[in-house]
């Protein structure tokens, strides 16, 4: 049963590149939003318009903010035709009325196949941190808890798959 008297916070987050290389220079990773397109249903005599989700998702886009420009990564990320597999490991500490709950604390893993399509440079101002923002489109997104085979969410655009831990979302 769900305990609504607890909360979790991200205490650390590591981003890995395809071969499990740690991207320690990442400051922020915005996971793509899951937003279903909707259809308005409006009929005669209906008291309100009803929005219902369709089977199509809006584009999966996200951003990454790097603390410094790394020439080796820039060479890869500036190519919009190359797909990169990234992993975000979010360490979630769960707290409750008795403090830290180590048994419920976990690591949430997000795996994303991305293509970078926009790079924004911060400019040059003396004393400012060197930051580079990358925007990407995502063709596959998987979320699961570390040490669990159960998938919380999987969206695979090219394999036409959208499922959660219960199975296919749009199963017939």
CATH number for the domain harbouring residue 58? 2.30.110.20
* Number of domain units in the chain: 1
Contact 37, 59 (CB under 8 A): no
Q: What is the pLDDT of residue 61?
A: 97
Q: What is the pLDDT of residue 9?
A: 82
The CA-atom distances, in angstroms, between 29 and each of 100, 102, 113, 133 are 25, 25, 14, 10
Compute how many other C-beta atoms are within 10 angstroms of the C-beta atom of residue 45: 4
DSSP H or E stretch at residue 74: helix 71-77
Q: What is the pLDDT of residue 59?
A: 96
Contact 118, 125 (CB under 8 A): no
Residue 2 lies in a domain: no
Region for 75 from its dihedrals, namely left if φ exceeds 0, alpha if ψ lies in -120 to 50, beta otherwise: alpha
Structural domain including 59 reads 7-37+51-168
Residue 43 lies in a domain: no
Give the pLDDT of the chain (172 residues) as one tens digit per residue.
Answer: 565 556 778 878 888 888 778 887 788 899 999 999 999 999 988 899 999 999 999 999 999 988 776 788 888 888 999 999 999 998 888 887 788 888 888 889 999 999 999 988 777 778 777 788 899 999 999 999 988 888 999 999 999 999 998 899 987 6
Q: What is the pLDDT of residue 112?
A: 96
Residue 68 lies in a domain: yes
The CA-atom distances, in angstroms, between 118 and each of 30, 87, 104, 133, 148 are 14, 20, 38, 8, 34
Residues 152, 139: Cα–Cα separation, whole Å:
17
Residue 131 lies in a domain: yes
Residue 42 lies in a domain: no
């Amino acid at each position: 049963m769900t305990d609504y008297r607890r909360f979790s916070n991200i205490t650390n987050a590591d981003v890995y590149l395809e071969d499990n290389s740690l991207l320690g220079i990442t400051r922020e990773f915005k996971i793509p939003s899951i937003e279903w397109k909707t259809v308005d249903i409006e009929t005669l005599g209906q008291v309100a318009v009803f929005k219902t989700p369709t089977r199509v998702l809006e584009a999966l886009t996200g951003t990454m903010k790097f603390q410094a420009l790394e020439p080796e990564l820039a060479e890869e990320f500036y190519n919009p035709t190359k797909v990169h597999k990234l992993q975000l490991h979010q360490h979630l500490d769960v707290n409750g009325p008795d403090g830290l709950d180590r048994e419920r604390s976990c690591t949430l893993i997000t795996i994303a196949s991305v293509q970078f399509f926009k790079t924004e440079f911060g400019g040059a101002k003396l004393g400012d941190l060197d930051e580079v923002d990358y925007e990407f489109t995502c063709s596959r997104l998987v979320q699961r808890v570390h040490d669990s085979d159960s998938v919380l969410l999987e969206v695979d655009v090219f394999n036409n798959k959208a499922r959660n831990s219960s199975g296919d979302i749009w199963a017939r």
